[in-house]
Amino acid sequence: MNIAELKEEIIRYSKTIGIDKIGFTTASTFDGLRNRLMIQQELGFQSGFEEPDIEKRVNPALLMDQPMSIISIALAYPTKMKDRVVSKPGERRGIFCRASWGDDYHLVLKDRLSKLEAYLEELVPDVRFTSMVDTGALSDRAVAERAGIGWSGKNCSIFTPEFGSYVYLGETITNIPFEPDEPLESKCGTCTKCIDACPTGALVQGGQLNAQRCISFITQTKGFMPDEFREELGNRIYGCDTCQTVCPENKGKDFHFHEEMEPDSEIVKPLLKPILHMSNKEFKEKFGRLSGSWRGKKPIQRNSIIALAHFKDESAVEDLIMLMKKDPRPVIRGTAAWALGKIGGEEAEKALQALQASENDPEVQQEIEKGLKMFNPIM
């Protein structure tokens, strides 16, 4: 089998193992990306979740000896739930972004990549490879763009013509010199819908994100959330889909190819109040399979408190007072204090006044003051 036939065979095989799109590119350095990453770093626009060594991010030869190509894969994920939750009046729910529906996508894509690796080994005994999904050094988007999987949108996402931007990406560096595929043209044109819809102005301009302002990032931090973002969070408890859902190129895109990716609506759109009192074990049992649980229980609980404040859910006042009295974590006590101010009412005000006297943590004290100010804005 020559290399062109091998490529055709890999493409054919990929379809039989649940890979929705596959593309090939060279293993040469990503020179444009290097510059881009340096600018992002200088501006302080990175999230801190990326590989810090820029050279590793742009040079596949630092990740594998004598690489010749990169195989990029994309798997489409659903955007609509088959089993919608029926909420009773007054029951408030949070939402996980679509990229956190179903089983953790890292596991699903790694499964597909390891099948691909095994097949490559069968066909080419001296093949070498290194695979990665999200947590690897390479930019999955830059690889996918160069491999013709999709074009890069002003919201930063890679858009496949077939499935829109609702695809996960992963790749395998190999020592086989496959013929590269051609990149695709962007379809954004003069549209700016995603930039205009971003609630925090995180998309500074087309294709440039200040990750520090992106709600997706902010839902994944562990400390106190800055006030300006609390107002914009809504009921998002993990991630943000706004710049994808407003995009005309994503209209009607909803694919259900992978059983593992089907969401359980009770899990990805969960009731908020029960989250506040969950033990670590209960959290793991309910949310442990989602990619959105990777930062642990605290950010999800903090975001749930902010979501209850967003709904001004008076039925949560007692739960929030309990957290203020008993929770050992200052971020949770302080966020609960702020939420009590937002929700308002006599009981909330009295509890804040009483706890002001007994609270020792200076940051929580500040949040109590903020909460009390909401009852008397000229204080």
* Residues annotated catalytic, as ranges: 134
User: What's the rounded Cα separation, in Å, for the pair 209 and 19?
Assistant: 29
> Are residues 237 and 303 in contact, defined by beta-carbon separation less than 8 angstroms?
yes
Contact residue for ligand B12 among 3, 13, 18, 50 (CB under 6 A) = 50
User: What's the rounded Cα separation, in Å, for the pair 290 and 100?
Assistant: 6
Position 194 contacts ligand SF4 (CB under 6 A): yes
> CB under 5 to 8 A by kind: which of ligand B12, ligand SF4, none does 200 bind?
ligand SF4
Site residues (CB under 6 A) for ligand SF4, limited to 234-253: 240, 242-243, 246-249
Contact residue for ligand B12 among 78, 95, 131, 140 (CB under 6 A) = 140
Position 47 contacts ligand B12 (CB under 6 A): yes
Contact residue for ligand SF4 among 34, 110, 115, 193 (CB under 6 A) = 193
Torsion angles phi and psi, residue 22, rounded to 5: -135, 140
Residue linked to tokens 């990619």: 291
- What distances in angstroms separate CA 249 from CA 7, 35, 172, 326, one per listed residue? 29, 28, 28, 48
Position 19 contacts ligand SF4 (CB under 6 A): no
* Cβ proximity to ligand B12, 110 vs 325, nearer residue: 110
> CB under 5 to 8 A by kind: which of ligand SF4, ligand B12, none does 191 bind?
ligand SF4
User: What's the rounded Cα separation, in Å, for the pair 287 and 294?
Assistant: 10
E strand segments, the chain: 21-26, 69-76, 95-96, 129-132, 151-152, 158-159, 167-174, 203-205, 208-209, 236-238
* Cβ proximity to ligand B12, 214 vs 321, nearer residue: 214
User: What's the rounded Cα separation, in Å, for the pair 14 and 12?
Assistant: 6
> CB under 5 to 8 A by kind: which of ligand SF4, ligand B12, none does 278 bind?
none
Position 103 contacts ligand B12 (CB under 6 A): no
Size of the site for ligand B12 (CB under 6 A): 39
- Where helices occur in 63-123 by DSSP H, the ranges are 105-123
Position 308 contacts ligand B12 (CB under 6 A): no
- What distances in angstroms separate CA 364 from CA 62, 312, 323, 328, 352, one per listed residue? 46, 21, 12, 11, 11
Token couple for 328: 């050992």
Q: Shortest distance, CB of residue 40 to ligand B12, whole angstroms?
A: 5
Q: Shortest distance, CB of residue 105 to ligand B12, whole angstroms?
A: 7
Token couple for 128: 């070498």
> Are residues 58 and 34 in contact, defined by beta-carbon separation less than 8 angstroms?
yes
> CB under 5 to 8 A by kind: which of ligand B12, ligand SF4, none does 152 bind?
ligand B12
Contact residue for ligand B12 among 25, 59, 72, 139 (CB under 6 A) = 139
User: What's the rounded Cα separation, in Å, for the pair 65 and 53?
Assistant: 18
Site residues (CB under 6 A) for ligand B12, limited to 158-217: 158, 165, 167-170, 207-209, 211, 214, 216-217
Site residues (CB under 6 A) for ligand SF4, limited to 140-179: 153-155
Contact residue for ligand SF4 among 142, 167, 169, 188 (CB under 6 A) = 188
* Cβ proximity to ligand SF4, 58 vs 240, nearer residue: 240
Q: Which residues of 1-16 are buried (b: 16+ CB within 10 A; e: fewer)?
A: eeeeebbeebeebbee
Q: Give pairs for 40-48: CB < 8 Å, separation 24+.
A: 40/208, 43/210, 44/212, 45/204, 45/208, 45/209, 45/210, 45/211, 45/212, 46/211, 47/211, 47/212, 47/214, 47/217
Contact residue for ligand B12 among 110, 141, 325, 329 (CB under 6 A) = 141
Nearest to 15 by CA among 96, 89, 90, 116: 116
Site residues (CB under 6 A) for ligand B12, limited to 12-31: none
Site map (CB under 6 A) of ligand B12, residues 149-168, x = contact: ---x--xxxx------x-xx
Contact set with ligand B12 (CB under 6 A):
32-33, 36-37, 40, 47, 49-50, 97, 99, 133-134, 136, 139-142, 145, 152, 155-158, 165, 167-170, 207-209, 211, 214, 216-217, 239-241, 243
- Which residues form the interface with ligand SF4 (CB under 6 A)? 153-155, 188, 191-194, 198-200, 202-203, 209, 214-216, 240, 242-243, 246-249
